[in-house]
A and B are shown apart, each in its own frame.
Chain A
Amino acid sequence: MDFRMDLIIDYMPFFLKGALYTIGVSLVGILLGTILGLLIGMGKIMRNKLLALPFILYITFFRGTPLFVQILLIHFGLIPLVLGQTNAIVAGIVALTLNAAAYIAEIFRAGIQSIDRGQMEAARSLGQTHVQAMRYVILPQAFKRMVPPLGNEFIVLLKDSSLLAVITVPELMYWGRAFQGQYYKIWEPYLTAALIYLILTLSMSYLLGRLEKRLATE
């Protein structure tokens, strides 16, 4: 087996363009997923069980079915229903967001519930409303505890974005597969893609490490 470095170099513009798409859809997914996840996490811990039910069902569905299936459902089902035609990039972002939101909701719930009950009681006894206590006392402390699992989720999301290749989002893995289809080579495209993914995830964990350090109080 000869390793064709020249093919990789020829194909590098596509790998880099793909990597940009990977970064793009992942960042948007992370951002929207975090916002949606916060709302859903809050929804799930509402004391009114009837109101909390839709949020519980949401998490059950998106956490209980494979992302691969969700991507195909959203691309060929949901998006054409809403937009009138398929749009791979929109479908990709929606799928990543909805999926990540379910996991992030659970991270938020765990973070909030990990704060000692006495904190809320103390805030309320000082005259703060439930919402104020959440905003100024509980969430800031909970957020710090959520950073490591959130970082974990972001890295998973970045890697999961490779599944979007099946619906032809032109991200890194799509070009890896296109390379494979064109030259019938395995090692060249997939090792290159793996290396680029590794660089992306390492950069991300580096940034998250910095963030954790800044948030450290001791």
Chain B
Amino acid sequence: MKKRSMISFVLMGALSLALAGCGEDDTANGSSGDSGGEKEKLRLVTDGAYAPMEYLDNGEITGFGIDFAEAVVEEAGYEADIEVIGWEPIFVEIEGKTADLAVSSITINDERKETYDFSVPYYLSTNMIMVPEDSDVESGEDLKGKKIAVLNGSTGQEAAETIAGENSTDVLKFADNNLAIQELLAGGADAVIADNTIVEYYTQMNPEQKLKVVPDDDFAEEFYGILFPKGSELKADFDEAIKAIIDNGTYTEIYQEWFGNEPDLEALKAQQE
């Protein structure tokens, strides 16, 4: 008798979980209807742990991506509240249409395009390898059998898994890039694979930690885009606005302010066609 009540308890638990799932499904569909209201204040979300792209400086969100986002929102004739919500929640909120757009160094790829819409590209990036200065790693191939720390769900993870194999235990997936870099510094990983912007900026900012950056030509060029829910009406306006600020020099101005050099506008424009 005792045993039976135990089993029915487990079943009840499973059932209530399943029901909870269904309930949420309904509300997600219901709320998609009212997100079409135009020219209202947009909810722009970002990760905020990705210096120098988007990061918190004394609690204020700042970075190249943020300055870019503000310029493009203004150009497109909207207003937006920028909210820091972390990396993984971005995909949940955009898919659930509880946020209107995300600017968070999000690489445009086919897998993501299935579920989301992207603006035209606004930034060119490649993944790079970060290793201690005395490391003998010269390319991605040398990382076989070594521990690689990455950001969970990032393209750096994809690059690492191409080398080590999918779901390999040699790939350590962290919730943000800083933790991945800490793991490298503490000796638990042999390398970090992340966007060049992050890797170069961190290496430059922390010379005493004796790190170096190793490029790998096999890592594909990546382009960042603004992320929208599938079928968003905002996309057209923002595509125009991105092209406009690239043409009127605002983009170059922001780029130089943050990176101190000229953006490769040709590569960006070629990709926007």
Report whether chain A binds chain B. Answer: yes
Q: Separation in Å of the B211 CB from the closest CB of chain A? A: 16
The digit string for B175-188, where 1 denotes a CB below 8 A from any CB of A, is 10001001100111
* A1 B186 Cβ-Cβ under 8 A: no
* B186 A177 Cβ-Cβ under 8 A: no
The digit string for A179-209, where 1 denotes a CB below 8 A from any CB of B, is 0111010110001001100110010001000
Q: Is A64 located at the chain interface by the 8 A CB criterion?
A: no
Q: Is A168 located at the chain interface by the 8 A CB criterion?
A: yes
* B95 A184 Cβ-Cβ under 8 A: yes
Q: Is B17 located at the chain interface by the 8 A CB criterion?
A: yes
* A178 B173 Cβ-Cβ under 8 A: yes
CA distance A35 to B129 in the complex (A): 44
* A80 B186 Cβ-Cβ under 8 A: yes
* A186 B92 Cβ-Cβ under 8 A: yes
The segment from A24-32, A84-92, A125-133 found at the interface with B is: A84-92
Q: Is A154 located at the chain interface by the 8 A CB criterion?
A: no
Q: Is A76 located at the chain interface by the 8 A CB criterion?
A: yes
Question: Which B residue sits closest to A2, measured CB to CB?
Answer: B25
Question: Which B residue sits closest to A209, measured CB to CB?
Answer: B2
Specify which of B17, B167, B173, B187 is in contact with A85 (CB 8 Å cutoff). Answer: B187
Q: Which residues of B contact A181 (CB under 8 A)?
A: 88, 152-154, 157, 173
Q: Is A111 located at the chain interface by the 8 A CB criterion?
A: no
Residues 36-84 (chain B) with a chain A CB within 8 angstroms:
none
Q: Is B236 located at the chain interface by the 8 A CB criterion?
A: no
Q: Which residues of A contact B187 (CB under 8 A)?
A: 80, 84-86
Question: What is the size, in residues, of chain B's interface with A at 8 Å between Cβ atoms?
Answer: 35
* B172 A168 Cβ-Cβ under 8 A: yes
Q: Is A55 located at the chain interface by the 8 A CB criterion?
A: no
Q: Separation in Å of the B130 CB from the closest CB of chain A? A: 16
Q: Which residues of B contact A1 (CB under 8 A)?
A: 25, 28-29
Question: Which A residue sits closest to B89, measured CB to CB?
Answer: A186
* B179 A86 Cβ-Cβ under 8 A: no
* A168 B14 Cβ-Cβ under 8 A: no
* B10 A76 Cβ-Cβ under 8 A: no
* B10 A202 Cβ-Cβ under 8 A: yes
Question: What class of interface size applies to chain A in its complex with B?
Answer: 20 to 34
In the complex where A86-B188, A166-B179, A168-B183 touch, is A184 in contact with B91 (Cβ < 8 A)? yes
Q: Which residues of A contact B29 (CB under 8 A)?
A: 1
CA distance A178 to B183 in the complex (A): 17
Question: Which B residue sits closest to A178, measured CB to CB?
Answer: B173
CA distance A88 to B180 in the complex (A): 12
Q: Which residues of B contact A88 (CB under 8 A)?
A: 172, 188
* B21 A191 Cβ-Cβ under 8 A: yes
Closest 8 CB pairs of A and B: A181-B153, A85-B187, A86-B188, A181-B152, A80-B186, A86-B186, A168-B172, A184-B91
Chain B residues with CB under 8 Å of chain A are 6, 9-10, 13-14, 17, 21, 24-25, 28-29, 88, 91-92, 95, 112, 115, 149, 152-154, 157, 167, 169, 172-175, 179, 182-183, 186-189
Other CB < 8 Å A-B pairs besides A1-B25, A88-B188, 19 of them?
A1-B28, A3-B21, A75-B186, A76-B182, A79-B186, A80-B188, A85-B186, A86-B187, A87-B188, A166-B175, A167-B179, A168-B174, A168-B183, A174-B173, A181-B154, A182-B153, A184-B91, A187-B21, A191-B21
Jot down 28 A-B pairs with beta carbons below 8 A, ordered by A.
A3-B21, A14-B167, A75-B186, A76-B183, A80-B186, A80-B188, A86-B188, A88-B172, A166-B174, A167-B179, A168-B149, A168-B174, A174-B173, A177-B173, A178-B167, A178-B173, A181-B153, A181-B157, A184-B91, A184-B95, A184-B112, A186-B92, A187-B21, A198-B13, A199-B10, A202-B9, A202-B10, A206-B6
